[in-house]
Structure 1
């Protein structure tokens, strides 16, 4: 499993840079660049989602090792819809904050910084 670093501060699953979800889904079946990828597991952190999430995961601990399912078939690290990079980083797109997209879960909110196109 890749070591996952999450830099999306507005995601409910982000706990001090680690993902508290058991797995994430990276989207981008037509992606040819990082900006065309996204984390489908992103959940905007607001009062309602934070409360529901905290209650549902009281006993779970965020982990550096997270299963990563990947639809970015043009990435060198994707094989059989799994990510095989040693490390993966999910970030906000450029300077955009997820807050601007409250609950919309638009693909442009996050991106996989680890994406590398196949030759």
Structure 2
């Protein structure tokens, strides 16, 4: 099972720095660096905390789909890394996040 460490505390899927979304989508089709990627599954806690129960599930996210075609961890849109790190500062929208585990092929 993949572990998704997340420093994006404003995301409604984040529970104690672990992602509890049902599925994560990493965006960045033409990405060449980590800052060209994003967590497309980000939902701002200020707006969506009442619309999702993902942080109430029994376990962390174990499904990660990746569109970053040039990442060495991407195997036919599935991430092969043992764990990933999602980061973002004062995030308000998904494109302000990034997959810091991205590594160019």
Name the TM-score, length of structure 2 as normaliser: 0.89
Distance 1:72 1:51, change over 3 A: same
State whether residues 74 and 80 of structure 2, in contact with CA within 8 Å, keep that contact through their aligned partners in structure 1. Answer: yes
Q: Partner residue of 2:81? A: 85
Whose Rg is larger? Answer: 1
Query: Which one has the bigger helix percentage?
Result: 1
| Structure 1 unmatched runs, 5+ | none
CA distance in 1 between counterparts of 2:55 and 2:14 reads 14
Residue 31 of structure 1 pairs with residue 28 of structure 2:
no
Tell me which stretches of 4 or more aligned residues in structure 1 moved more than 3 Å.
Answer: 56-59
How do residues 4-83 of structure 1 correspond to structure 2 at under 5 angstroms? Answer: 4-46=4-46, 48-53=47-52, 56-57=53-54, 60-63=57-60, 66-83=62-79
Q: Which runs of 5+ in 2 are unaligned?
A: none
CA RMSD of aligned residues (A): 1.7
- In structure 1, the partner of 2:90 is 97
Structure 1 113/79 Cα, relative in aligned 2: closer, same or farther at 3 Å? same
So what's the TM-score if we normalise by structure 1? 0.80
